[in-house]
Amino acid sequence: MSSTASATGSTSTPRHAEVAGAGFAGLTAAIALARSGWSVRVHEQNDTLRDFGAGILLWRNAMLALEVIGVAPRIKAEGVVPDAYATSLNGEMFTPELAGYPYWAITRPRLHAILVDAARDAGVDLVTGSKAVAAEPSGVLVLEDGSRLQADLVLACDGAGSAVRNSRPELVQERKKYQDGVCRVLVRRPEEFQGEEWDRVIDYWTLEPDAMRILFITTGPDTIYMGMMATTDNERASQIPIDPEVWSARFPHLAPVIELAAEATGGRHDPYQTNRVEPWSAGRVVLVGDSAHAMCPALGQGASVGMVNAVELAHVLSEHDDLGTALAVWEDRQRAMTDAAQARSAYMAETRTLARGNGFTPEVMETANFELAAATPEHLA
Ligand code: 3HM
């Protein structure tokens, strides 16, 4: 594709952003920038705009970010509030009190579709089949077909394996892999799982002879999200499609729903990993989302921290005319919260503390209670 994006930075011409990646972070940043007057184009390498088939929990911080970009009402209408968060270890069930930490559950495809609609409504140009491969600090996004797109700001929202980030040696990354990984699938909610005991999060663990876990999250009357965690060296338990035999052997009472998981399409397996990058920007190129701070899913905050940082970036850019100042202020504000979220999720993954059902301590929940600079009293109401 070719482009003639403007990059004047004057007050009369809108500032222009080129965004690599139409995931949660890229779409959220695009919506927030477009709503504050930027012209925005998003490049998605796939031929369709979608997310994979699983679910997601959205805590207060994520809901505030979604409130700021105007999509929270749809999340509330189309998602659900689970009744409780129960944990079962070796058959013993406990339900920790989570008062003060509200959360919503929704399928990832639904959240993604809501963000796509909001991006279109905000005037974002969404281009599919367009793969970004590199960026230059002068504000150039380079596509696989050789196009060079000039922008005031280039956002690399192309995920943990970000090609755009990897093209910039000054953005130094440290990667760490952990012992576990998770298969994530969305199953149709069958007749036998219509009872209200399934309107909850239920986290089933066994730790012997090795850790295996099935996390059920209700995502409404039609679907249940299943996160099936195992050590990555347990190869049969670390693959999609789900191997029903190996899972049912460890969770015999869940065999009927494991069968459904085995039939599910659109799921995926990911090893737990952390990806710390410093700094988050180089000239006019900035990393937002997993490209900057992939984290273990144990805290349920990976996508949410990306969406928060995206909304905060647009806010800071509206407060400071000078781009360098804005990016420095933004990274300074968001870095401590993000580092802490990565460290907490890594700790929870390493120690498997959620198995004991007391993982959601006030310290851990600081991420969920992060105060967004972009949120006004009206968003908080
Ligand atoms: C919401 C959530 N919580 C925990 C995990 C995990 O530990 O893999 C995944 C999730 O989606």
- Rounded Cα distance between 104 and 63, Å, is 8
Q: Does ligand 1 lie within 6 Å of residue 230's CB atom? A: no
Cα 54 to its chain centre, rounded Å, is 12
Q: Does ligand 1 lie within 6 Å of residue 49's CB atom? A: no
Nearest atom of ligand 1 to the alpha carbon of 225: 11
Q: What is the ipTM for the molecules in this complex?
A: 0.92
Q: Which helix (H) or strand (E) holds 47?
A: none
Q: Give SS3 for 75.
A: helix
217 burial (CB, 10 Å; 0-12 / 13-18 / 19+) is: buried
Q: Residue 187 pairs with which residues in a beta bridge?
A: 224
Name the amino acid, one letter, at 351.
T
Pocket test for ligand 1, best of 24, 52, 57 (most atoms within 8 A of CB): 57
Of 36, 48, 63, which Cα lies nearest the Cα of 152? 36
- Rounded Cα distance between 9 and 17, Å, is 11
Whole-number pLDDT of residue 9: 43
Distance 211 CA to ligand 1 centre (A): 15
Handedness of CA 191, 97, 79, 227 (dihedral sign): negative
- Rounded Cα distance between 269 and 271, Å, is 7
Q: Does ligand 1 lie within 6 Å of residue 229's CB atom? A: yes
- For range 171-200, the mean pLDDT: 91
- Rounded Cα distance between 83 and 199, Å, is 6
- Rounded Cα distance between 287 and 282, Å, is 9
Whole-number pLDDT of residue 306: 98
Pocket test for ligand 1, best of 108, 180, 182 (most atoms within 8 A of CB): 182
- Rounded Cα distance between 313 and 30, Å, is 11
Of 57, 5, 21, which Cα lies nearest the Cα of 298? 57
Whole-number pLDDT of residue 358: 67
- The string of pLDDT tens digits covering residues 88-127 is 998 888 887 777 788 999 999 999 999 999 999 999 999 9
Q: Does ligand 1 lie within 6 Å of residue 201's CB atom? A: no
- The string of pLDDT tens digits covering residues 131-148 is 999 999 999 999 999 999
Pair type for strands 212-218 and 223-231: antiparallel
Residue 86 Ramachandran class (φ > 0 left, ψ -120 to 50 alpha, else beta) = beta
Nearest atom of ligand 1 to the alpha carbon of 184: 11
Which residue has the least CA distance to atom 10 on ligand 1? 300
Q: Which of 30-39, 51-60, 354-363 has the lowest average pLDDT? A: 354-363
Q: Residue 136 pairs with which residues in a beta bridge?
A: 140
Distance 273 CA to ligand 1 centre (A): 13
Whole-number pLDDT of residue 90: 83
Q: Does ligand 1 lie within 6 Å of residue 298's CB atom? A: yes
Distance 20 CA to ligand 1 centre (A): 26
Q: Does ligand 1 lie within 6 Å of residue 57's CB atom? A: yes
- For range 319-340, the mean pLDDT: 97
Nearest atom of ligand 1 to the alpha carbon of 201: 1
Distance 378 CA to ligand 1 centre (A): 30
| pLDDT over 90 (residue 381) | no
Give yes or no for a contact between 42 and 27, defined as CB atoms under 8 angstroms apart.
yes
Please tell me which residue, 249 or 381, carries the higher pLDDT value: 249
Whole-number pLDDT of residue 54: 97
Of 321, 303, 280, 309, which Cα lies nearest the Cα of 373? 309
Whole-number pLDDT of residue 5: 40
**Confidence label for 11 from pLDDT (cuts 50, 70 and 90):** low
Handedness of CA 242, 248, 251, 254 (dihedral sign): positive
Which residue has the least CA distance to atom 3 on ligand 1? 300
